[in-house]
Amino acid sequence: MQDIVIMYHYVREKESWTGSVPISPEDFRKQIEWAKENYEIISPDDMNKITKKPKCIISFDDATKDQYTIAYKILKELDVYGYFTVMSAPLESGVVPIFHLVHTVLSHINDEEVWNELNAKFEIPDLTEKSAYYSYEPNVYRRYNKYVFNFLLDEQSCRRYLEEKVEKLYGSIQSFIKAFYISIEELVEMKENGMTLGVHCVKHLPYKGDAQEFYNTEIAPCKVFMQQELGITPKWFTPAFGGGENAIQMRAELEPILRANGFKGAFTTIEDYTILNNNNFWFNRFDCNRLKSIQ
């Protein structure tokens, strides 16, 4: 067996969160128990630790509240480490990334209802062929909605529609942020209980090709936020979307900047085994929902 990193996002009951693909609390517990039995679960700071078994890091993106209320508590019960990454914009400036608004709206509102409203508000062309991009979605209206939100509408129109829906569901965007994301106080608690906190992003933007600009806008402000609000200087980085379409370019161009600013390593979305030691910088991760391929 080889070293692995497992990537988690939502840890929720699937029936209650249909806008994305969560792992259920029960399945999460089973995976952690399996990992604990077969691997030495370590924090990123312990990569050079000599272990009898292959090493494993349990990693989380986005810092959503379920990771605190469910995942973190299970990790504590099983006495294992977790690596959680912070997205600063929601906590610092009240800006929620579009994809979290999409997941929320599609989890609470019927897809056909959303589709009918979008058609009433915007001029939408026939999406029969284009929506095949989401062919894995059995519901045709879900395919249409995702295409509209992700490819058709400009950000301002998309945000206006989605935020109006979320405000009706939660009362306000601030109420949504309080319910949806791990708070500063909870992050401090997690840190004090042995969890590792790293930088994820500011606004969850993909890499566009300018490494220094990307560092200045999506990484450095989050690092400063964590220093000021959490009392730590983060040493680990996990890029949003794994870097997106320009991930290969990002890894090559961003690494020297990250190293120069004190980062020890970073994590990809490449599904493969990895070598957990300090001689490497980029570490691959297996998505938790496709982990059965190696179990």
213-222 per-position pLDDT tens digit = 999 999 999 9
Distances from the Cα of 210 to the Cα of 12, 89, 217, angstroms: 36, 21, 11
Beta-carbon contacts of residue 282 (< 8 Å; ≥ 6 apart): 251, 255, 265, 266, 267, 268
Is it the case that residue 93 has pLDDT exceeding 80?
Answer: yes
CA distances for 62 relative to 95, 100, 197, 257, angstroms: 13, 9, 11, 22
Question: Measured between alpha carbons, how far is 27 from 30 in angstroms, rounded to an integer?
Answer: 5
State the residue for tokens 């969850």.
204
pLDDT tens-digit map of 228-283: 999 999 999 999 989 888 999 999 999 999 999 999 999 999 999 999 998 999 99
pLDDT of residue 217: 97
| Each residue's pLDDT tens digit, 152-196 | 999 999 999 999 999 999 999 999 999 999 999 999 999 999 999
Given this model, what pLDDT does residue 195 score?
98
Helix, strand or coil, per DSSP, at residue 286: strand
CB-based contact 131:140 (threshold 8 Å): yes
For residue 95, the model assigns a pLDDT of 96
pTM exceeds cut of 0.85:
yes
Report pLDDT for 292: 77
pLDDT range class, residue 294, cuts 50, 70, 90: confident
**Which neighbouring-strand residues pair with 181?**
64
Per-residue pLDDT tens over the stretch 33-47: 999 999 999 999 999
Residue 295: predicted pLDDT:
73
The pLDDT tens digits of the residues spanning 102-122 come to 999 999 999 999 999 999 999
Q: What is the mean pLDDT of residues 73-99?
A: 97
Task: Give me the phi and psi of 283, to 5 degrees please.
Answer: -125, 130
pLDDT tens track for 122-164? 999 999 999 998 988 899 999 999 999 988 999 999 999 999 9
- The secondary structure of 152-215 as a DSSP string is IS-HHHHHHHHHHHHHHHHSSHHHHHHHHB--HHHHHHHHHTT-EEEEEESS-PPP-S-HHHHI
pLDDT on residue 231: 97
